[in-house]
Amino acid sequence: MKKKIFCILHAITDDALEDLGGLTPLQKANCPYLDTLARQGDFVTVNPPQYGGIATAIAALIDEKTPKIHLQQGPLQAYARGYRLAPQQRAFSTRFVATGEDVIIDVDDDIITNDEGKALCKYLNKELRDDGCCFFHVEGPRAMMITDNSELATLPTTLGERPITAMGKKWLGEVKSEDVKKLLKKISDTLKKHEINSLREDLEENFINAVLLSQGGTLPYEEFENNTNNERKILLTTSETSKGIARLLNINTHTLKKEQKKYDNIACIMQKLDTIFEKNDTVFIEIFYLWDSTYKGNLLEKVKTIEYLDKNIIRPLKEHCDDNNTQLTVMPLKQCSITAGEWKQGPVPVVIYPTKGLHTAPAFEEQYLHDTNEAYDITSLQ
């Protein structure tokens, strides 16, 4: 059986931008190795699932038999930690943010450190232990909340799904239930009392005084329990959501550690690839650096990151495949927009190497996407 590598470059595609002379970041970047793959392999157009987000797309890519349902991040993050929710429970993806006069004013990924995020979760669990909510830290300002508070099931969470678009909006503006407002305000009041905010007050920094809840729900666990065909697949990722998917689909995971220095995980992946293939036939690698620059709206960083990844992961992966008769597939899972700081619907470019080169392109760029009527379904890539 031929071994396969799927390199998922989240957010590599983007809109054409005036600041780049009408080019996309991918067109602006110098990517000789990606372009070589496009010229020598198969460059195809793929339609990601339209019924869900990134989590749903990666599940469909890993296993074509995945039920066609929207998988919410909250319960996936809980499942990654071994929590199978009871029927009355719900899990929410959670983000600590700053508000001023009940308006959201800071949703930055760097608003708090990992240690501060852990401390806030621990403090909330102590102070709110009788309110049916339990918080688990994920990374930085991101956390996960499990609750058996039935009122929270009615919470509209669209505000929290795209934190960057929540800036300047009323924190509780969409909440109709008075009981939910009361609980969220209690969370806010509790956060304000933490010593972290005392220090921030001394430094004249914004208080961490609110949470955004999104992607809440449960999972249809029983629909995945007979899945036994994925034992020789492994996912390399830093994402708690993706780890939940891997567990749900019964595939192995290799958790990439919190980096001491940016791009440390790239070197780690290449060093361990041969060992990983000893027990696996298909390796999925998730790369999130481009999403980080997209979320921040940092255009220059995005272009430079594309160039770095081309040289430091695409080149060595191509060399590995040439030396080991392994097939390489490079792709994003969703279109994205750096101006909006969010994902969007639409087909994505995928290159498969080596193949017979029946569908080549001059370069790995959005402009060579085929008509969507000719697009492949993401499940066909396996």
The DSSP secondary structure of 17-35, one letter per residue, reads BGGGTTB-HHHHS--HHHH
Residue-number span of the structural domain to which 121 is assigned = 84-217
**Do β-strands 348-353 and 327-331 pair in parallel, antiparallel, or remain unpaired?**
antiparallel
**pLDDT tens digit string along 200-211?**
888 888 899 999
Q: Which pLDDT belongs to residue 144?
A: 96
Indicate whether 137 belongs to any domain. yes
pLDDT at 103 over 80: yes
The number of domains in the chain is: 2
At 137, the amino acid letter reads H
Indicate whether 78 belongs to any domain. no
Q: Is the domain of 243 the same as that of 356?
A: yes
pLDDT at 96 over 80: yes
**pLDDT tens digit string along 353-363?**
998 777 889 99
Alpha-carbon distance of 59 to 70, in angstroms, equals: 10
Q: Position of tokens 């940092």?
A: 298
Average pLDDT over residues 137-152: 92
Alpha-carbon distance of 14 to 175, in angstroms, equals: 33
Q: Is the domain of 138 the same as that of 236?
A: no
Indicate whether 77 belongs to any domain. no
Q: Is the domain of 293 the same as that of 372?
A: yes
Residue 40: CATH number of its domain: 3.40.720.10
pTM greater than 0.85 = yes
**pLDDT tens digit string along 273-330?**
999 999 999 999 999 999 999 988 899 999 999 999 999 999 999 999 999 999 999 9
